[in-house]
Amino acid sequence: MSGFHASQCGFCTPGMCMSIFTSLANADKSNKPEPQKGFSKLTVSEAERAFSGNMCRCTGYRPIVDACKSFASDVDLEDLGLNVFWKKVKVVVANTSSGVKGYKDQDLYNKYIDISDIPELSAIWKKDSGIEIGAATPISKTIEILEQEAGSKSCANGSVVFRKLTEHMSKVATPFVRNTASIGGNIILAQKYPFPSDIATILLGVASTVRLQVYSKTLEVTLEEFLELPPSDPSTLLLSIFIPHWASDSQKESKVIFETYRAAPRPLGNAVSYINSAMLGHVSQKSCGDLVLSNLHMAFGAYGTEHAIRATKVEQHLNGKVLTPSVVLEAVRLLRETIVPMKGTSHPEYRVSVAVGFLFSFLSPFAKGIKGPGNTLSISSASSSNTDDPCNLPLSSRRETISSDDHKPVGEPIKKYAVELQTSGEAVYVDDIPAPKNCLYGEFIYSTQPLAYVKNIKFKPSLASEKVLTVVSAKDIPSGGQNIGSSFLFGDEPLFGSPVAEYAGQALGVVIAETQRYANLAGKQVVVEYDTKDLKPPILTVEQAVQNNSYFEVPPERYPKQVGDFSKGMAEADHKILATEVKLASQYYFYMETQTALAIPDEDNTLVVYSSSQYPELAQSVIARCLGIPFSNVRVITRRVGGGFGGKTFRSYTVATAAALCAFKLRRPVRMYLNRSTDMIMIGGRHPIKAYYTVGFKSNGRITALHLDILINAGISPDASPLIPDYMMSGLKKYNWGALSFDIKVCKTNNTSKSTMRAPGDTQGSFIAEAIIEHVASVLSLDANNVRQKNFHTYDSLVLFYPESAGEASTYTLHSIFNRLLATSSYLHRAESIKHFNNRNKWRKRGISCVPLIFKVAPRPAPGRVSVLNDGSIVVEVGGIEVGQGLWTKVQQMTVFALGQLWPDGSECLLDRAIKDNVNLSSSAYWVPGQESSTYLNYGAGISEVEIDVLTGAITLLRSDLVYDCGKSLNPAVDLGQIEGSFIQGIGFFINEEHETNADGLVVSDSTWVYKIPSVDTIPKQFNAEVLNSGYHKNRVLSSKASGEPALVLAASVHCAVREAIRAARKEFGSSELTFQLDVPAPMTHVKEMCGLDVVDKYLESLSEHQSRAAA
């Protein structure tokens, strides 16, 4: 009765309950058949008669009758109506939709009903006409079933359909998701939301049907009809999906053809498609020998549509026709009219163009006179139009390491310290620390406006908001404390935006709740009231910063030095390129462990803060200044960091300080662990840069002068941004520019502060250098590699450009490294092979490029302490944090080397004697590099070869070869891992990772759903890395060199190779613009745009015109 809201004043309720109970008891005593579990023998009519003697004035009887009918065996579920006012319930199989961006519930449900164990919903029915699969069947199980069906004798003629379905489904999501997510859940998502489902599209393409339970009725409709219905509600349950058999018709001499397509950032899955398609039909041969298609089903989805659709106009146009260029061209035009992305869809023109490419790929093997990406097929081989896929190349890696016995065990490839703890899951990170008693959890409330007064913060009524204990904001900072969340040499950044939020993503406060889940949900349900009255418009771009003269000052001693006389260099030039723009976007750190901290109040107004920080010393000072307490009252502990890449230096302080403030105020432990979306929105990343270059050069490619105007988007606070100009010029000076001048401005904008990220500045500067070299080579029609080598430094010019870092002439190894790499990688032979490949392949093009590296490194002062304990064990403390770079491993090796030489005979007795005599068995030191060792140069080179698909823009990285001068490596295995990892992260920056914001500057690439770092299927198919031993050097630590950052710069070779492949494609299709700028990053959408969005149309038009002229 209570569940059905069947009681109002309540006076009649007891009598009603007794009437219901009597009816139930009498029904159970009857001889009626046993009802299904959960119901009684009572019928609906008996339930309605049960109250004939009872009276009620309040309810109108309906809820009372419904309550009684809920027990009836023959109740109509629609009449039952329980879901109308019962607890908030969600029916799930694995609830994997909670991880899907845009479809994740922002509230909690009272109950989750798991239907995964209902046998009828996971059953498989094999029939002569096809196969029916229960809706709760996991996707991986569905793949297994379809594979079995494809190999069965009953399906021999139509096995191509099931085989292609399994191949495509194997690229949906990840193995973990496919093992739990159900096929029905995927289709329901596609029906309820504009969810870019691959499964719905490919099942639509094979004319699947679905069986539904709508209240008590069972319906069977086509998948196409189901997708077009209004979004399903809890009254609708998907029971099963039926996939028909498609067999060849021997009487009509036709064969089944079926192909599926998807364009996605990752070829093997774990990336949503920009567009997908499935096309099915029959192909037969006319008496004249021409091939004809019939019974076509063409489905397209994920292109920015409410759901997958059939291209019926295209089907009708093609059915029964011989595929001539003009027929295919008309089909393309009809498809362009059909595929219309919704407003707001990203890359709409790209998606339409790729749809055309899919159609062209499907039709071209059966068309007369058309050279498509597949081979022209005869009726006997018409099962599939698929061709060899470069993604099927084996993944291999050859590693060459050179170790040294000079300082054994230093120089040996010893395995990383604590690796067993990491692999077994026993390594303790900050969030693994058990929650202390009475621990609370915090989540940031952040601004969604770039510049606005914060007038009010409130919550939407919800289950989550009911669990909120309080909100901590700037007003809760103690008297004497400061509103500070980060600090470095050049200034502070506030912890909270108060009273003005200065950028979208700025923290406004912290929601405190009893669990992290409630805190996260409450944080998403906050409603912030803003006011922009009397405020100027926000500055969001570097162009706006220039207009408003909004800059951060770069101290004169930090500003890089110019070289030579630019005017004189330009006067010597034979050719000039003037004011050409190049742009590089930002990059998010994407450490695996997001920002996290645990703050615990201690005695006497002190705090212990566990922080995932690369710089805990500075975190201590920021926390203490915020709370207005002595530094000595704050203890910051960092055992290890789950990835940092610079993002956990200054950017980690905000989280640690916020947790400390909350714990200090509430006098209870507070844990904060940013979810991925919040981390991506708030933390920042690499500096976006826009540059303009003017360059003069000789006809042989030698550059005589270069001038740069550079705008760096630093965001709202200086952070480390005033250091970036020097870092950029260090990377750019790797070539001898003759004369080099520049004007660099660090722009203050209303964006998230940008900070140091692996190889900061050097990455952008080095890329700009490569863009200039390639532009010069293109203008002169010279090989870019020759132009590079023409502008390599001599030792004299190296000293001119790097006066403090060049070192001795014998240490300048770039020329030998570059030549070694060209030889070991067979560069010249491969370059010639690529020319032949490009001549033979119209729709796939390859490119190869080799780039050099000069990277300036400045070792920092560092403390160290060595203690011998009473049992003879050693404790070594160093001024560094283990972030995965192998610091502890190298310290152990160095300790064994150093102390192993000193350990005398009779050491045990000596140790006892020292203890008895109170000898200090600890020694401390603070190492400060001398003038000669304050900076040095790393050298290296990298070659990359790529292949692009002209129809989709997809990039396959075929091979990369690196040679890297690591000095005398302290641990070749560790250093090689750093080199390779750094290079792959660089591929992400140059190719994959699109860091996008909305019109207010709020990051919208805020999840793995849309932000794609490199994965195992996007790294080089063959990866060869060599650590070169460049020999002894007295001014470096045991002659070693840095390995963690410089190799990232070499990933520019991938970008340059992509540019070469695009140039080949443009040349193939008659473009006169072979000199072009390719900004960073260069994802597949941009590659396709640069190749041409209308290349298929133009190709078919040219064939049609030729055909018309021939007929005339």
869 in helix, strand or coil? coil
Average pLDDT of span 134-159: 86
Contact 713, 500 (CB under 8 A): no
Average pLDDT of span 735-759: 98
The CATH architecture that domain 862-928 belongs to is: 2-Layer Sandwich (3.30)
143 in helix, strand or coil? helix
Higher pLDDT, 830 or 11: 830
Residue 563 DSSP class: B
Average pLDDT of span 539-564: 97
Average pLDDT of span 391-395: 51
Return d(Cα 951, Cα 1095) in angstroms, integer. 8
Average pLDDT of span 260-276: 95
Q: What is the pTM of this model?
A: 0.92
- Token representation of residue 257: 């053809």
pLDDT higher than threshold 50 for residue 418 = yes
- Give the range among 110-124, 173-187, 305-319, 811-825 with minimum mean pLDDT: 110-124
Q: Which helix (H) or strand (E) holds 276?
A: strand 275-285
- Token representation of residue 748: 């203050």
Identify the band that residue 392 occupies on the pLDDT scale cut at 50, 70 and 90: low
Q: Which helix (H) or strand (E) holds 798?
A: helix 795-801
- Token representation of residue 419: 């690796």
Burial class (CB in 10 A: 0-12, 13-18, 19+), 1092: buried
Looking at domain 13-84, its CATH superfamily turns out to be [2Fe-2S]-binding domain (1.10.150.120)
- What is residue 844's predicted lDDT score, i.e. its pLDDT? 98
- Token representation of residue 47: 């339930």
- Give the range among 94-108, 269-283, 695-709, 1058-1072 with minimum mean pLDDT: 94-108
Nearest alpha carbon to residue 765 among 850, 645, 855: 855
Average pLDDT of span 982-989: 97
- What is residue 464's predicted lDDT score, i.e. its pLDDT? 63
Average pLDDT of span 205-209: 98
- What is residue 250's predicted lDDT score, i.e. its pLDDT? 65
pLDDT tens digits, one per residue of 24-78: 888 888 888 887 766 788 887 777 777 767 777 666 776 777 777 777 766 655 5
Higher pLDDT, 293 or 9: 293
The reply, when asked if residue 9 is annotated as ligand binding, is yes
Counting Cα atoms < 13 Å in the Cβ hemisphere of 410 gives 23
Summary mean pLDDT of the chain = 91
pLDDT tens digits, one per residue of 463-509: 666 788 999 999 999 999 999 999 999 999 999 999 999 999 999 99
The reply, when asked if residue 155 is annotated as ligand binding, is no
Q: Which CATH class is domain 248-386?
A: alpha beta
Which entry of 1045, 1073, 1101, 1105 is annotated as an active-site residue? 1045
How distant is the alpha carbon of residue 439 from its chain centre? Answer: 32
Return d(Cα 502, Cα 750) in angstroms, integer. 6
Single-letter residue type at 578: L
Return d(Cα 323, Cα 286) in angstroms, integer. 12
Identify the band that residue 1106 occupies on the pLDDT scale cut at 50, 70 and 90: confident
Average pLDDT of span 1023-1043: 86
pLDDT tens digits, one per residue of 577-608: 999 999 999 999 999 999 999 999 999 999 99
What CATH number does the domain located at 87-246 have?
Answer: 3.30.465.10
- What is residue 468's predicted lDDT score, i.e. its pLDDT? 86
Average pLDDT of span 435-442: 97
Average pLDDT of span 173-198: 94
Examine the residue annotation and report whether 412 is marked as an active-site residue of this protein.
Answer: no
Burial class (CB in 10 A: 0-12, 13-18, 19+), 1108: exposed
Residue 448 CB partners (closer than 8 Å, separation 6+): 504, 528, 1000, 1002
Return d(Cα 962, Cα 92) in angstroms, integer. 49
Single-letter residue type at 617: E
- Give the range among 389-393, 590-594, 812-816 with minimum mean pLDDT: 389-393
pLDDT tens digits, one per residue of 912-953: 899 999 999 999 999 998 877 789 999 999 999 999 999 999
Nearest alpha carbon to residue 854 among 787, 944, 759, 785: 759
**Is it true that 393-401+801-859+929-1081 and 862-928 share their CATH fold?**
yes
pLDDT higher than threshold 80 for residue 87 = no
All structural domains of the chain with their residue ranges: 13-84, 87-246, 248-386, 393-401+801-859+929-1081, 862-928
- Give the range among 127-131, 229-233, 375-379, 974-978 with minimum mean pLDDT: 375-379
How much is the CA Rg of the chain, to the nearest whole Å? 34
Residue 990 DSSP class: I
- What is residue 84's predicted lDDT score, i.e. its pLDDT? 46
The reply, when asked if residue 58 is annotated as ligand binding, is yes
Identify the band that residue 388 occupies on the pLDDT scale cut at 50, 70 and 90: very low
Q: Which helix (H) or strand (E) holds 907?
A: helix 907-916
The reply, when asked if residue 198 is annotated as ligand binding, is yes
- Token representation of residue 600: 């615990």
The CATH architecture that domain 393-401+801-859+929-1081 belongs to is: 2-Layer Sandwich (3.30)
- What is residue 152's predicted lDDT score, i.e. its pLDDT? 76
End-to-end CA distance of the chain: 85
Return d(Cα 799, Cα 731) in angstroms, integer. 15
